[in-house]
A and B are shown apart, each in its own frame.
Chain A
Amino acid sequence: MSLLELTHATKRFTSGQRETLALQDVSLELDPGDFVAVYGLRRSGRTTLLRVVAGILPLDEGTARFDGRDLADRSAGALGVGIGYCSPTFDPAHGGTVTDHVAVALLARGVGRSRACARAEEELARAGASGCANLDPRELHLDELVRAGIARALVTRPRLLLLDEPTNGVDVLQRDGILELLRAAADGGTAVLMTVGEPLGGPDRVLALDDGRLRGHAVQEQAPVLPLRPRHVEPVA
Protein backbone atom coordinates (compact mmCIF):
# COMPACT_ATOMS: atom_id res chain seq x y z
CA MET A 1 0.00 0.00 0.00
CA SER A 2 1.37 3.39 -1.01
CA LEU A 3 1.13 6.53 1.13
CA LEU A 4 -1.03 8.20 -1.51
CA GLU A 5 -3.20 6.22 -3.90
CA LEU A 6 -5.31 7.97 -6.50
CA THR A 7 -7.26 5.41 -8.52
CA HIS A 8 -9.18 6.15 -11.72
CA ALA A 9 -9.96 9.62 -10.44
CA THR A 10 -12.36 11.73 -12.47
CA LYS A 11 -13.48 15.23 -11.57
CA ARG A 12 -16.02 17.33 -13.48
CA PHE A 13 -16.95 20.98 -13.18
CA THR A 14 -20.22 22.25 -14.54
CA SER A 15 -20.86 25.83 -15.50
CA GLY A 16 -24.28 26.39 -16.99
CA GLN A 17 -24.69 23.82 -19.72
CA ARG A 18 -20.97 23.38 -20.18
CA GLU A 19 -19.22 20.50 -18.44
CA THR A 20 -15.44 20.42 -18.08
CA LEU A 21 -13.50 17.27 -17.30
CA ALA A 22 -10.73 18.55 -15.04
CA LEU A 23 -9.38 15.06 -14.30
CA GLN A 24 -9.97 12.03 -16.49
CA ASP A 25 -9.29 8.55 -15.11
CA VAL A 26 -6.15 9.65 -13.27
CA SER A 27 -4.20 7.11 -11.24
CA LEU A 28 -1.20 8.13 -9.15
CA GLU A 29 0.84 6.61 -6.34
CA LEU A 30 3.36 8.22 -4.02
CA ASP A 31 5.49 6.61 -1.34
CA PRO A 32 7.34 8.28 1.54
CA GLY A 33 10.43 10.09 0.21
CA ASP A 34 9.09 10.36 -3.35
CA PHE A 35 9.62 13.70 -5.06
CA VAL A 36 7.19 13.97 -7.98
CA ALA A 37 6.45 16.90 -10.28
CA VAL A 38 3.37 17.19 -12.47
CA TYR A 39 4.05 19.34 -15.49
CA GLY A 40 1.12 21.03 -17.11
CA LEU A 41 0.08 24.25 -18.74
CA ARG A 42 -2.83 26.41 -17.59
CA ARG A 43 -6.22 24.67 -17.50
CA SER A 44 -4.53 21.27 -17.67
CA GLY A 45 -6.10 20.20 -14.36
CA ARG A 46 -2.96 20.48 -12.25
CA THR A 47 -4.48 22.58 -9.44
CA THR A 48 -7.57 20.36 -9.36
CA LEU A 49 -5.27 17.37 -8.95
CA LEU A 50 -3.61 18.93 -5.90
CA ARG A 51 -6.92 19.97 -4.37
CA VAL A 52 -8.26 16.43 -4.80
CA VAL A 53 -5.15 14.95 -3.21
CA ALA A 54 -5.45 17.44 -0.35
CA GLY A 55 -8.99 16.23 0.26
CA ILE A 56 -10.41 19.70 -0.49
CA LEU A 57 -12.33 18.60 -3.59
CA PRO A 58 -14.41 15.40 -3.70
CA LEU A 59 -14.12 13.13 -6.72
CA ASP A 60 -16.96 12.30 -9.08
CA GLU A 61 -15.49 8.88 -9.87
CA GLY A 62 -12.59 6.88 -8.50
CA THR A 63 -10.93 7.00 -5.10
CA ALA A 64 -8.26 9.02 -3.34
CA ARG A 65 -6.67 7.35 -0.35
CA PHE A 66 -4.02 8.77 1.97
CA ASP A 67 -2.31 6.39 4.36
CA GLY A 68 -5.05 3.86 3.68
CA ARG A 69 -7.90 6.26 4.50
CA ASP A 70 -10.39 7.46 1.92
CA LEU A 71 -10.05 11.23 1.56
CA ALA A 72 -13.77 11.43 0.85
CA ASP A 73 -14.26 10.63 4.53
CA ARG A 74 -14.32 14.15 5.97
CA SER A 75 -13.73 12.88 9.49
CA ALA A 76 -10.25 11.75 8.40
CA GLY A 77 -9.13 15.43 8.25
CA ALA A 78 -5.80 14.67 6.64
CA LEU A 79 -5.05 18.23 5.50
CA GLY A 80 -2.97 19.95 8.12
CA VAL A 81 -2.18 16.70 9.95
CA GLY A 82 -0.70 14.22 7.52
CA ILE A 83 -0.81 16.48 4.47
CA GLY A 84 0.77 19.92 4.22
CA TYR A 85 -0.37 22.33 1.51
CA CYS A 86 2.13 25.06 0.69
CA SER A 87 0.69 28.40 -0.30
CA PRO A 88 2.61 31.66 -0.66
CA THR A 89 -0.39 33.70 0.52
CA PHE A 90 -0.53 34.86 4.13
CA ASP A 91 -3.73 35.99 5.83
CA PRO A 92 -3.02 39.08 8.00
CA ALA A 93 -5.51 37.71 10.53
CA HIS A 94 -3.03 34.96 11.45
CA GLY A 95 -0.40 37.31 12.84
CA GLY A 96 1.98 40.17 12.22
CA THR A 97 5.28 38.42 11.58
CA VAL A 98 6.32 35.47 9.46
CA THR A 99 7.06 33.53 12.65
CA ASP A 100 3.45 34.10 13.79
CA HIS A 101 2.16 32.68 10.50
CA VAL A 102 4.39 29.62 10.64
CA ALA A 103 3.51 29.00 14.29
CA VAL A 104 -0.25 29.33 13.88
CA ALA A 105 -0.83 25.68 12.90
CA LEU A 106 0.97 24.54 16.06
CA LEU A 107 -0.97 26.99 18.22
CA ALA A 108 -4.17 25.56 16.76
CA ARG A 109 -3.03 22.12 17.97
CA GLY A 110 -2.56 23.35 21.50
CA VAL A 111 1.20 23.82 21.49
CA GLY A 112 2.29 26.61 23.86
CA ARG A 113 3.18 29.96 22.27
CA SER A 114 6.89 30.03 23.14
CA ARG A 115 7.40 26.44 21.99
CA ALA A 116 5.39 27.03 18.83
CA CYS A 117 7.45 30.13 17.98
CA ALA A 118 10.71 28.27 18.67
CA ARG A 119 9.59 25.43 16.36
CA ALA A 120 8.54 27.97 13.73
CA GLU A 121 11.94 29.65 13.84
CA GLU A 122 13.67 26.27 13.50
CA GLU A 123 11.55 25.46 10.45
CA LEU A 124 12.23 28.87 8.92
CA ALA A 125 15.96 28.33 9.42
CA ARG A 126 15.70 24.91 7.76
CA ALA A 127 13.90 26.56 4.85
CA GLY A 128 16.62 29.20 4.51
CA ALA A 129 14.25 31.96 5.60
CA SER A 130 15.46 32.76 9.11
CA GLY A 131 16.18 36.33 8.00
CA CYS A 132 12.45 36.77 7.37
CA ALA A 133 11.28 35.59 10.79
CA ASN A 134 10.50 39.02 12.21
CA LEU A 135 9.25 40.61 8.99
CA ASP A 136 5.70 41.19 7.86
CA PRO A 137 4.90 38.72 5.00
CA ARG A 138 4.03 41.72 2.83
CA GLU A 139 7.69 42.76 2.96
CA LEU A 140 8.99 39.48 1.51
CA HIS A 141 10.25 38.82 -1.98
CA LEU A 142 8.53 36.02 -3.90
CA ASP A 143 11.24 33.43 -3.23
CA GLU A 144 11.14 34.32 0.47
CA LEU A 145 7.35 33.93 0.47
CA VAL A 146 7.74 30.47 -1.03
CA ARG A 147 10.37 29.48 1.54
CA ALA A 148 8.18 30.80 4.36
CA GLY A 149 5.19 28.95 2.87
CA ILE A 150 7.19 25.72 2.80
CA ALA A 151 8.24 26.26 6.42
CA ARG A 152 4.58 26.86 7.37
CA ALA A 153 3.51 23.66 5.59
CA LEU A 154 6.31 21.55 7.09
CA VAL A 155 6.12 22.81 10.68
CA THR A 156 3.49 20.17 11.52
CA ARG A 157 5.79 17.47 10.03
CA PRO A 158 3.34 16.25 7.36
CA ARG A 159 4.02 12.99 5.53
CA LEU A 160 2.91 14.49 2.22
CA LEU A 161 3.75 18.00 1.05
CA LEU A 162 1.72 19.55 -1.78
CA LEU A 163 2.86 22.61 -3.71
CA ASP A 164 1.16 24.41 -6.58
CA GLU A 165 3.84 25.90 -8.86
CA PRO A 166 6.30 26.82 -6.10
CA THR A 167 8.78 28.35 -8.54
CA ASN A 168 6.28 30.34 -10.61
CA GLY A 169 7.65 33.87 -10.94
CA VAL A 170 10.67 33.13 -8.77
CA ASP A 171 13.95 34.57 -10.03
CA VAL A 172 15.91 31.91 -11.93
CA LEU A 173 18.87 32.31 -9.58
CA GLN A 174 16.66 31.55 -6.55
CA ARG A 175 14.78 28.67 -8.20
CA ASP A 176 17.35 25.90 -7.67
CA GLY A 177 17.61 26.71 -3.96
CA ILE A 178 13.88 26.08 -3.55
CA LEU A 179 14.14 22.79 -5.44
CA GLU A 180 17.05 21.76 -3.23
CA LEU A 181 14.90 22.54 -0.20
CA LEU A 182 12.15 20.25 -1.52
CA ARG A 183 14.71 17.57 -2.31
CA ALA A 184 15.92 17.75 1.30
CA ALA A 185 12.33 17.35 2.52
CA ALA A 186 11.94 14.25 0.33
CA ASP A 187 15.27 12.85 1.50
CA GLY A 188 13.95 13.33 5.04
CA GLY A 189 11.06 10.97 4.25
CA THR A 190 8.31 13.42 3.27
CA ALA A 191 6.55 12.63 0.00
CA VAL A 192 6.55 15.76 -2.16
CA LEU A 193 4.05 16.38 -4.96
CA MET A 194 4.27 19.65 -6.85
CA THR A 195 2.81 21.07 -10.01
CA VAL A 196 5.02 23.01 -12.40
CA GLY A 197 4.37 25.04 -15.50
CA GLU A 198 7.91 24.61 -16.80
CA PRO A 199 10.36 21.70 -16.83
CA LEU A 200 12.49 21.70 -13.70
CA GLY A 201 15.33 19.56 -12.42
CA GLY A 202 15.09 17.96 -9.01
CA PRO A 203 12.18 15.48 -8.87
CA ASP A 204 12.57 11.70 -9.03
CA ARG A 205 9.61 11.45 -11.39
CA VAL A 206 8.05 13.99 -13.73
CA LEU A 207 4.53 13.41 -15.05
CA ALA A 208 2.63 15.37 -17.65
CA LEU A 209 -0.96 16.49 -17.22
CA ASP A 210 -2.90 17.70 -20.23
CA ASP A 211 -6.63 18.10 -20.59
CA GLY A 212 -7.08 16.27 -17.29
CA ARG A 213 -5.16 13.20 -18.45
CA LEU A 214 -2.00 12.20 -16.61
CA ARG A 215 0.93 10.66 -18.51
CA GLY A 216 4.24 9.22 -17.44
CA HIS A 217 5.18 6.80 -14.68
CA ALA A 218 2.28 7.76 -12.43
CA VAL A 219 2.14 4.35 -10.78
CA GLN A 220 5.27 2.49 -9.77
CA GLU A 221 5.59 -0.43 -12.17
CA GLN A 222 8.32 -2.35 -10.42
CA ALA A 223 8.08 -4.21 -7.14
CA PRO A 224 8.97 -2.12 -4.10
CA VAL A 225 12.69 -2.22 -3.31
CA LEU A 226 14.77 -0.79 -0.50
CA PRO A 227 15.95 2.76 -1.35
CA LEU A 228 19.64 3.07 -2.17
CA ARG A 229 20.04 6.17 -0.09
CA PRO A 230 19.18 5.98 3.59
CA ARG A 231 16.18 8.02 4.55
CA HIS A 232 15.76 9.43 7.98
CA VAL A 233 12.14 9.89 8.95
CA GLU A 234 11.57 12.22 11.85
CA PRO A 235 8.84 11.23 14.27
CA VAL A 236 5.59 13.12 13.96
CA ALA A 237 5.29 15.64 16.78
Chain B
Amino acid sequence: MTAARARRKEQGRTPVNAAVLGLVIERPSYGYEVWRRFEARFGGVIDVGASRIYQAFDGLLADGLIEPAQDAAVSSRRQPRPCYRATRAHRAWLADELRGDPARLELNRRLLATAADDVPTLLEVVGRYEQACLDEMTELRADARPTPGSAGGAPEAMRDRLLTEERRLVLEARMKWILFARRQLEAVGAPPRRQPPAESS
Protein backbone atom coordinates (compact mmCIF):
# COMPACT_ATOMS: atom_id res chain seq x y z
CA MET B 1 0.00 0.00 0.00
CA THR B 2 1.42 3.39 -0.97
CA ALA B 3 1.87 6.06 1.71
CA ALA B 4 -0.69 8.30 -0.01
CA ARG B 5 -3.24 5.50 -0.13
CA ALA B 6 -2.60 4.56 3.49
CA ARG B 7 -3.03 8.22 4.52
CA ARG B 8 -6.27 8.46 2.57
CA LYS B 9 -7.49 5.28 4.23
CA GLU B 10 -6.69 6.75 7.66
CA GLN B 11 -8.53 9.95 6.79
CA GLY B 12 -11.52 7.90 5.66
CA ARG B 13 -11.81 6.26 9.07
CA THR B 14 -13.97 8.91 10.62
CA PRO B 15 -16.86 8.11 12.92
CA VAL B 16 -19.27 9.62 10.39
CA ASN B 17 -17.98 7.41 7.57
CA ALA B 18 -18.17 4.36 9.80
CA ALA B 19 -21.71 5.22 10.85
CA VAL B 20 -22.84 5.84 7.27
CA LEU B 21 -21.29 2.57 6.16
CA GLY B 22 -23.11 0.80 8.98
CA LEU B 23 -26.42 2.27 7.85
CA VAL B 24 -25.79 1.24 4.23
CA ILE B 25 -24.80 -2.27 5.38
CA GLU B 26 -28.10 -2.38 7.21
CA ARG B 27 -29.96 -1.72 3.98
CA PRO B 28 -29.22 -0.09 0.59
CA SER B 29 -30.17 3.57 0.83
CA TYR B 30 -29.96 6.96 -0.84
CA GLY B 31 -28.55 10.13 0.74
CA TYR B 32 -31.59 11.75 2.31
CA GLU B 33 -32.85 8.50 3.72
CA VAL B 34 -29.43 7.73 5.25
CA TRP B 35 -29.35 11.22 6.77
CA ARG B 36 -32.76 10.71 8.38
CA ARG B 37 -31.68 7.36 9.85
CA PHE B 38 -28.35 8.87 10.89
CA GLU B 39 -30.16 11.57 12.86
CA ALA B 40 -32.48 9.03 14.47
CA ARG B 41 -29.63 6.70 15.42
CA PHE B 42 -26.73 9.03 16.27
CA GLY B 43 -28.41 12.41 16.82
CA GLY B 44 -27.05 14.13 19.91
CA VAL B 45 -23.86 12.10 19.71
CA ILE B 46 -22.74 13.06 16.21
CA ASP B 47 -24.63 15.93 14.60
CA VAL B 48 -24.00 16.48 10.90
CA GLY B 49 -25.75 18.14 8.00
CA ALA B 50 -26.97 16.25 4.95
CA SER B 51 -23.95 17.41 2.94
CA ARG B 52 -21.64 15.47 5.28
CA ILE B 53 -23.50 12.28 4.36
CA TYR B 54 -22.69 12.85 0.69
CA GLN B 55 -19.04 13.46 1.61
CA ALA B 56 -19.05 10.15 3.44
CA PHE B 57 -20.56 8.46 0.36
CA ASP B 58 -17.71 9.88 -1.74
CA GLY B 59 -15.08 8.58 0.68
CA LEU B 60 -16.67 5.15 0.99
CA LEU B 61 -17.05 4.93 -2.82
CA ALA B 62 -13.37 5.82 -3.27
CA ASP B 63 -12.39 3.11 -0.78
CA GLY B 64 -14.56 0.58 -2.62
CA LEU B 65 -16.70 -0.04 0.46
CA ILE B 66 -20.00 0.93 -1.19
CA GLU B 67 -21.25 0.90 -4.76
CA PRO B 68 -24.29 2.19 -6.62
CA ALA B 69 -27.16 -0.27 -6.39
CA GLN B 70 -28.54 -0.19 -9.91
CA ASP B 71 -31.38 -2.60 -9.28
CA ALA B 72 -32.52 -0.70 -6.19
CA ALA B 73 -32.20 2.80 -7.61
CA VAL B 74 -34.84 5.17 -6.34
CA SER B 75 -36.17 7.79 -8.67
CA SER B 76 -38.38 10.73 -7.98
CA ARG B 77 -40.37 12.72 -10.47
CA ARG B 78 -37.64 15.35 -10.61
CA GLN B 79 -34.39 13.38 -10.74
CA PRO B 80 -33.01 9.92 -9.96
CA ARG B 81 -31.58 9.49 -6.49
CA PRO B 82 -28.46 7.32 -6.42
CA CYS B 83 -28.90 4.43 -4.06
CA TYR B 84 -25.86 2.74 -2.51
CA ARG B 85 -25.18 -0.68 -1.09
CA ALA B 86 -22.18 -2.15 0.69
CA THR B 87 -19.64 -4.15 -1.29
CA ARG B 88 -18.12 -7.39 -0.01
CA ALA B 89 -15.02 -5.34 0.90
CA HIS B 90 -16.85 -3.91 3.91
CA ARG B 91 -16.31 -7.20 5.77
CA ALA B 92 -12.53 -6.82 5.68
CA TRP B 93 -12.94 -3.16 6.68
CA LEU B 94 -15.05 -4.09 9.70
CA ALA B 95 -12.55 -6.72 10.80
CA ASP B 96 -9.78 -4.14 10.40
CA GLU B 97 -11.69 -1.66 12.58
CA LEU B 98 -12.25 -4.25 15.29
CA ARG B 99 -8.55 -5.18 15.28
CA GLY B 100 -7.56 -1.79 16.63
CA ASP B 101 -5.75 1.26 15.41
CA PRO B 102 -2.02 0.64 14.76
CA ALA B 103 -1.38 4.38 14.59
CA ARG B 104 -2.76 4.84 18.11
CA LEU B 105 -0.65 1.98 19.42
CA GLU B 106 2.45 3.50 17.89
CA LEU B 107 1.58 6.89 19.40
CA ASN B 108 1.20 5.29 22.85
CA ARG B 109 4.53 3.49 22.41
CA ARG B 110 6.30 6.77 21.65
CA LEU B 111 4.55 8.58 24.50
CA LEU B 112 5.70 5.91 26.96
CA ALA B 113 9.22 6.09 25.55
CA THR B 114 9.43 9.78 26.49
CA ALA B 115 9.36 8.85 30.18
CA ALA B 116 11.30 5.60 29.97
CA ASP B 117 13.81 6.68 32.62
CA ASP B 118 11.25 8.15 35.02
CA VAL B 119 9.94 5.06 36.84
CA PRO B 120 7.71 6.91 39.35
CA THR B 121 5.98 8.75 36.50
CA LEU B 122 5.50 5.54 34.54
CA LEU B 123 4.09 3.82 37.63
CA GLU B 124 1.61 6.67 37.98
CA VAL B 125 0.68 6.37 34.31
CA VAL B 126 0.14 2.62 34.76
CA GLY B 127 -1.95 3.30 37.86
CA ARG B 128 -4.16 5.77 36.02
CA TYR B 129 -4.51 3.35 33.11
CA GLU B 130 -5.54 0.63 35.57
CA GLN B 131 -8.18 2.88 37.13
CA ALA B 132 -9.55 3.68 33.67
CA CYS B 133 -9.80 -0.04 32.93
CA LEU B 134 -11.54 -0.71 36.28
CA ASP B 135 -14.01 2.08 35.54
CA GLU B 136 -14.62 0.66 32.07
CA MET B 137 -15.47 -2.71 33.62
CA THR B 138 -18.35 -1.12 35.50
CA GLU B 139 -19.60 0.32 32.20
CA LEU B 140 -19.83 -3.16 30.69
CA ARG B 141 -22.96 -3.68 32.74
CA ALA B 142 -25.35 -1.59 30.68
CA ASP B 143 -24.27 -3.28 27.46
CA ALA B 144 -24.46 -6.76 28.91
CA ARG B 145 -28.07 -6.38 29.91
CA PRO B 146 -30.69 -7.40 27.36
CA THR B 147 -32.55 -4.48 25.82
CA PRO B 148 -35.84 -4.00 27.69
CA GLY B 149 -38.74 -5.40 25.73
CA SER B 150 -36.58 -7.39 23.34
CA ALA B 151 -36.11 -11.11 23.39
CA GLY B 152 -32.69 -12.43 24.36
CA GLY B 153 -32.11 -13.61 20.81
CA ALA B 154 -33.03 -10.30 19.14
CA PRO B 155 -30.38 -9.05 16.70
CA GLU B 156 -29.81 -5.88 18.77
CA ALA B 157 -29.23 -7.88 21.95
CA MET B 158 -26.95 -10.26 20.09
CA ARG B 159 -24.86 -7.39 18.71
CA ASP B 160 -24.61 -5.85 22.19
CA ARG B 161 -23.47 -9.13 23.65
CA LEU B 162 -20.83 -9.67 20.97
CA LEU B 163 -19.40 -6.18 21.37
CA THR B 164 -19.50 -6.36 25.17
CA GLU B 165 -17.65 -9.66 25.16
CA GLU B 166 -15.02 -8.21 22.82
CA ARG B 167 -14.55 -5.22 25.17
CA ARG B 168 -14.38 -7.55 28.17
CA LEU B 169 -11.66 -9.69 26.63
CA VAL B 170 -9.67 -6.61 25.62
CA LEU B 171 -9.93 -5.41 29.23
CA GLU B 172 -8.70 -8.77 30.47
CA ALA B 173 -5.61 -8.48 28.29
CA ARG B 174 -5.02 -4.89 29.42
CA MET B 175 -5.28 -5.84 33.10
CA LYS B 176 -2.72 -8.60 32.61
CA TRP B 177 -0.43 -6.15 30.84
CA ILE B 178 -0.82 -3.66 33.71
CA LEU B 179 0.20 -6.36 36.19
CA PHE B 180 3.24 -7.17 34.06
CA ALA B 181 4.17 -3.52 33.59
CA ARG B 182 3.90 -2.68 37.30
CA ARG B 183 6.06 -5.63 38.32
CA GLN B 184 8.65 -4.74 35.70
CA LEU B 185 8.73 -1.12 36.79
CA GLU B 186 8.83 -1.94 40.50
CA ALA B 187 11.72 -4.32 39.88
CA VAL B 188 13.62 -1.58 38.03
CA GLY B 189 12.70 1.14 40.52
CA ALA B 190 13.37 -0.89 43.67
CA PRO B 191 16.53 0.04 45.55
CA PRO B 192 19.29 -2.43 44.81
CA ARG B 193 19.69 -5.24 47.32
CA ARG B 194 22.39 -4.48 49.80
CA GLN B 195 25.41 -6.61 49.10
CA PRO B 196 27.38 -7.98 52.04
CA PRO B 197 30.56 -6.00 52.55
CA ALA B 198 33.54 -7.51 50.83
CA GLU B 199 35.96 -9.05 53.23
CA SER B 200 39.16 -7.15 53.46
CA SER B 201 42.13 -9.18 52.64
Q: Spot the interface stretch: B32-40, B103-111, B112-120, B129-137.
A: B129-137
Closest to B143 in A: A201
B138 to A203, Cβ gap below 8 A?
yes
* B141:A199 contact, CB within 8 angstroms: no
Contact of A208 among B143, B172, B175 (CB under 8 A): B175
| Contact between A216 and B131, CB atoms less than 8 A apart | yes
Flag whether B164 is at the interface (Cβ < 8 A): yes
B130 and A215 contact, CB distance less than 8 A: yes
Q: What separation, in Å, do the CA atoms of A28 and B182 have in the docked complex?
A: 22
Q: With A210-B182, A215-B127 as given contacts, are A205 and B138 in contact (CB-CB < 8 Å)?
A: yes
Q: Contacts A199-B171, A206-B134 hold; do A172 and B165 have CB atoms under 8 A apart?
A: yes
Q: Which of B127, B161, B168 contacts A199 (CB 8 A)?
A: B168
A180 to B130, CA, bound (A): 25
| Chain B proximity mask over A24-46: 1 for CB below 8 Å, otherwise 0 | 00000000000001010100000
- Chain B 133-176 interface residues, beta-carbon cutoff 8 Å to A: 133-135, 137-141, 143-145, 161, 164-165, 168, 171-172, 175-176
**Number of cross-chain contacts by CB at 8 Å:** 62
Interface residues on A, range: 20 to 34
A203 near B141 with CB under 8 A, answer yes
Q: In the complex, how many angstroms separate the beta carbon of B163 from the nearest chain A beta carbon?
A: 12
**The residue from B131, B141, B161, B179 contacting A41, defined by CB atoms under 8 A apart:** B179
Q: Is A60's CB within 8 Å of the partner chain B?
A: no
Compute how far the CA of A207 lies from the CA of B161 in the bound complex, rounded to whole angstroms. Answer: 23
Q: Mark A74-96, 1 if CB is under 8 A from B, else 0.
A: 00000000000000000000000
Residues of B within 8 A of A200 (CB): 137, 140, 168
Q: A39 and B137: CB pair below 8 A?
A: yes
- A window 122-160: CB within 8 A of B: none
- Provide the residues of chain A in CB contact with B131, threshold 8 Å: 215-216
Query: Contact: B141 with A201, CB < 8 Å?
Result: yes
Complex: chain A residue closest to B139, CB-CB = A201
A171 on the interface (CB 8 Å rule)?
Answer: no
A88 to chain B, nearest CB (A): 22
Q: Give the distance to chain A from B140, nearest Cβ to Cβ, in Å.
A: 3
Cβ contact of B144, chosen from A37, A41, A201, A215, cutoff 8 A: A201
A91 to chain B, nearest CB (A): 33
Nearest neighbor of A176 in chain B, beta-carbon distance:
B144
Q: Which of B127, B130, B138, B165 contacts A204 (CB 8 A)?
A: B138
In the complex formed, the residue of B with least CB distance to A39 is: B175
A201–B171 Cα gap in the complex (Å)?
11
Q: Which residues of B contact A (CB under 8 A)?
A: 127, 130-131, 133-135, 137-141, 143-145, 161, 164-165, 168, 171-172, 175-176, 178-179, 182
The 5 closest A-B pairs by CB, nearest first: A201-B140, A201-B144, A199-B171, A206-B137, A201-B141
**Further pairs besides A37-B137, A206-B135, A210-B179: 14, Cβ < 8 Å:** A39-B134, A41-B176, A199-B140, A199-B175, A200-B140, A201-B137, A201-B164, A202-B140, A202-B144, A203-B137, A205-B134, A208-B134, A216-B130, A216-B134
